[in-house]
Amino acid sequence: MTVSEPQSATGVSKYHWPFERKRGCPLDPPPALAEIREAEPVTRVTLWNGEPAWLATRYHDVRALLGDAKRLSSDTSREGFPQSSETAVAQRGGQKNFVRMDPPKHDRHRLMLTADFAVKQVRALKPFMDSMLEQCFADMEASAKPVDLVKKLAQPVPANVIVKILDLPPELSDFFLDRVNRWMSLDSTPEESSAAGADALDYFDRLIEERRDGRGEDLVSRLVRNHLLTGEITRLELQHMLHLLLVGGFDTTANMIALGTLTLLEHPEQLTRIQEDPELVPGAVEELLRYLSVAHHVGFRLAVDEVEVGGRCIHAGDGVVAPIMAANRDPAVFVEPDRFDVRRDARGHLAFGYGVHQCLGQALARVELQAVFSRLFQRFPGLRLAVPVEELRFKNALIYGIEELPVTW
C-alpha cells in the first residue's frame, strides 16, 4: 500500500485498515501510520468489509476523539460500528460489558468496581505478587533450557493475579488462558472466537450461581450482594463484567511482560541502565507502555453527533478509528518517538486509552509490570534470547504480542 495515493472522488479511501507492520520491525507500528500523519492526519480508510471510516493519527486528535464519549459511542451493537475484521465483530459485537457502553450506564457499571482497582487497594496485593513471582522464577530455574518466558512468566503472572482478585480455584488459570487466547486471536474463525467467549461466560454464570447468596467478602460475592440482588445489574451483564476483567487484565499484561522483556533484551544499553538503577523501573515501564502500545486494535468508535477534528468534519453515523499506537509515536509530542529510551518522560502516553473508558486496571497493571521488570533481570542477569529474533512469531490478535519467547541465561 502507498499512502500517497489520492482519495477517490467519492471520498472512499484506498487506504485499507488494518495496516501491516514492516518486516524486520515487529516492535514498531505499521509505517503507514507515520506516513498518513505526515500527509493527511485525519483521513478516510476502508475497512475489511468495504465500509469507510475516519482514521486519526496525531496524538491530540486521537486523544480528543477518545475523550469525547458524548459524541463518539463505544457501543458495538450500534448499526455501522466500525471493526477490524469479521472475527473482531464476533468478539466485540456480543459484549454486554461497560467498555461497550456509553455514559451514563457505563459510569454506573464502572463505579461498581473502581474501589477494588484503586491504587491503594492494588498495592496491597504486592506481597502476594512478590511471592507468586518468586514461584515463577523458581519454576523457570527448575525447567530445562531454553525456557519459554511466555508460558513460564508472562502468562502466569496476570492469570494468577486475576484468579486471586476473583477468588477462583488456581487450577482454573489454564482453562482461562486457553479461552482468552482463542477469543482474542484474529486467526480464530468468528465461530471459534464466539465459542471460546461463550465457554468463559458459562463458567461465570456458574460462579454467580455458586455465590448467589452474596455472603462472601470476595469481589464476586460483593457484586452479587450490592448490585445484582438490588437489580442494578442483570445477571448477563454481571457475567460479561467478570469476563471483561478476565480478558482486560490478562492478555494485555501478559503481552506487555513478554514484549517488554524482548524490547529490553534488544536494547542492552537501556537494560543496563535499569539494572544499575532500579529507580528507573517505573519510568521504564511507562516507556514500554508507550513504545509497545499493545492495545493496537483499540480505539474504534461510532460518531453519534457531528465532531470536528484535525480540520475535518465527521458526521453522525461515521465510523472512527483512533489508534493509540499512532498517538504514542507522534513526534510532535514524543521527541524521536521511535527511539526506546527508559529515561524519557513518557507519562502522557495513551497506552491505557483516554477519557471515560481509560483503563480501569492501570494501577494493577503498573504494579505487575514494575514488579516483573525490577526483579527479572536482577534474578537472571544473563538472560538472553535463545533463538534469533527473526524466528519469533508475533500474534495476529486484538492485543499485540508474541507466541513464544525462548530464553536462556
Contact positions with ligand HEM (CB under 6 A) in 160-189: 162
Contact positions with ligand HEM (CB under 6 A) in 61-80: 66, 74
CB of 367 to ligand HEM, least distance (A): 9
CB of 140 to ligand HEM, least distance (A): 21
CB of 272 to ligand HEM, least distance (A): 24
The answer to whether residue 294 forms part of the interface with ligand HEM (CB under 6 A) is yes
Contact positions with ligand HEM (CB under 6 A) in 215-274: 244-245, 248-249, 252-253, 256
Q: Which is nearer to ligand HEM, 163 or 244 (CB)?
A: 244
C-alpha cell at 390: 527473526
First to last CA, the chain: 41
Stretch binding ligand HEM (CB under 6 A), from 8-16, 189-197, 345-353, 379-387 = 345-353
CB of 162 to ligand HEM, least distance (A): 6
CB of 323 to ligand HEM, least distance (A): 10
Contact positions with ligand HEM (CB under 6 A) in 358-377: 359-361, 364-365
**Three-point CA angle 407, 408, 409, nearest 5°:** 135
> What mask of x and - would describe binding to ligand HEM in positions 97 to 116, judged by CB under 6 A?
-xx----------x------
Q: Which is nearer to ligand HEM, 3 or 253 (CB)?
A: 253
The answer to whether residue 353 forms part of the interface with ligand HEM (CB under 6 A) is yes
Q: Which is nearer to ligand HEM, 90 or 321 (CB)?
A: 321
Site for ligand HEM (CB under 6 A): which residue of 58, 290, 297, 357? 357
Q: Which residue is nearest to ligand HEM (CB)?
A: 361
Q: Which is nearer to ligand HEM, 3 or 372 (CB)?
A: 372
The answer to whether residue 95 forms part of the interface with ligand HEM (CB under 6 A) is no
Label each residue of the chain as H, E or C: CCCCCCCCCCCCCCCECCCCCCCCCCCCCCHHHHHHHHHCCEEEEECCCCCEEEEECCHHHHHHHHCCCCCEECCCCCCCCCCCCHHHHHHHHCCCCHHHCCCCHHHHHHHHHHHHHCHHHHHCCHHHHHHHHHHHHHHHHHCCCCEEHHHHHHCHHHHHHHHHHCCCCHHHHHHHHHHHHHHHECCCCHHHHHHHHHHHHHHHHHHHHHCCCCCCCCHHHHHHHHHHCCCCCCHHHHHHHHHHHHHHHHHHHHHHHHHHHHHHHHCHHHHHHHHHCHHHHHHHHHHHHHHHCCCCCCCEEEECCCEEECCEEECCCCEEECCHHHHCCCCCCCCCCCCCCCCCCCCCCCCCCCHHHCCCCHHHHHHHHHHHHHHHHHHCCCCEECCCHHHCCECCECCCCECCCEEEC
The answer to whether residue 295 forms part of the interface with ligand HEM (CB under 6 A) is yes
Q: Which is nearer to ligand HEM, 70 or 384 (CB)?
A: 70
CB of 53 to ligand HEM, least distance (A): 15
Beta-sheet pairing, 384-385 with 307-309:
unpaired
Q: Which is nearer to ligand HEM, 42 or 298 (CB)?
A: 298
Provide the 10 A C-beta neighbour count for residue 16: 14
Q: Which is nearer to ligand HEM, 3 or 291 (CB)?
A: 291
The answer to whether residue 42 forms part of the interface with ligand HEM (CB under 6 A) is no
Q: Which is nearer to ligand HEM, 37 or 357 (CB)?
A: 357
CB of 224 to ligand HEM, least distance (A): 18
Q: Are 296 and 325 in contact (CB under 8 A)?
A: yes
Positions that interact with ligand HEM (CB under 6 A) = 66, 74, 98-99, 110, 162, 244-245, 248-249, 252-253, 256, 294-295, 298, 324, 351-353, 357, 359-361, 364-365
